[in-house]
Structure formats: C-alpha cells, structure tokens
Amino acid sequence: RPLWLRLRRSSPFTLTVLMCCLALLWVSPFIWMLASSFSATTFGDDMASLLPRLPLTLDNFRDAWQSADWLSLYANTLIFTFGTFFVQLLTITTAGYVFACHEFRGKQTLFLLFLVQLMIMPVVMMVPNMLTLKTFGLLNTLTGVMMPYFTSAFGVFLMRQAFLAIPKELEEAALMEG
C-alpha cells in the first residue's frame, strides 16, 4: 500500500508526532540562521549546533548596518517602485482600453501575441533584455532595471477584461455628459 494510505489509518498521536518532526526539520535552517546572527562571526562556519554560542553579541547587526549605504538603497527602491508603477499604469491602462473599446485591423492577432507572451518564462527573456539594454546604453542604470517592467501582458489582459465589464450605456452616458 502507498505511504499516504498507511498514514491515513495511523493514530492521531502518531500523525501529530510525525508532523512535529517534519515541522522541526523545516524550521531548523531558520533557527540556525537566528542563532548565527547572535553569535560570533566564526559560528557560521560550524553548523554542529542549532543553539547560539555564548557570549551573545549584536556585532553582526552593527556590521550589516554599517556595510551599506542604506539611504541610497531605499531611495533606489522607491524610485524603482513608483517609477515602474506610474509608467505601467499609463501603458497598461491605455493598451487595455484600446483592446477593449476600439476596433482596428489585426486587433485579435495583436492581443493573441500579448497572451502568448504570458506563456514565455521570464528567465528565457533575461539575456535578450540584457542585450537590448546594452545596445541602448542602459546597462547598470536604474532606468535599465526598470525598463523591462514598464509594460505587462498580464496587466493589459486584466485591464482589457475590466474595460469589457463596463456597460456601453455607462460609456455613452459619460460621453453625453462631457
């Protein structure tokens, strides 16, 4: 019999013990990481124990905070997040509205190409994106990091569906009102 059938017929106590052992196994890397963070820097080389070695120290945290320019890193994060958000808001909303509300030749084919893009794994596009950024001289720049995220096929699909859900009467009323 398969293991899962044998486990289903086991007592609740046995299942509880088994689940606790599996949970301890699953959480042990996190316990070791926490113990390493409060121990001397050489503790990470010796993985024999999950318990921190005495004396406990906060030197690792001090070294981590002093090792980087956190203010510029947070500024880059905010610029990346909000910059990408606003450009995506503009491109995705516009494309979704055009696909939902306007008729033009090749509309279905173009939308199908957007949907095909969803089936391509992002990892496959990393090298072509890097080569394109290198061609434009944007390699190792914040704009170059943001540019691949300026549009999103999934976002265009969602916005198209949202615009299709709006009744035509509501759009006509908005046009009448000005």
E runs forming strands in the chain? none
Q: Domain range for residue 53?
A: 3-66
Residue 109 tokens read as 């084919």
The predicted pLDDT at position 41 comes to 65
Instruction: Chunk the chain into consecutive blocks of 10 residues (it has 178) and report each block's average pLDDT, rounded to whole numbers.
Output: 70 85 92 82 61 79 88 94 97 96 94 91 91 93 92 94 93 87
Residues 35-43: contacts with CB under 8 Å, at least 24 apart:
36/60, 37/61
* pLDDT tens digits along 11-28: 788 888 988 999 999 998
Q: Which of 34, 66, 98 is the last residue of a domain?
A: 66
State the pTM of this model: 0.66
Q: Which of 66, 90, 114 is the last residue of a domain?
A: 66
Instruction: For residues 36 and 76, state if they share a domain.
Output: no
The predicted pLDDT at position 50 comes to 64
Which residue from 85, 78, 80 is spatially nearest to 155, judged by alpha carbons? 85
Q: How many domains does the chain have?
A: 2
Q: 3-class SS at 88?
A: helix
The predicted pLDDT at position 54 comes to 74
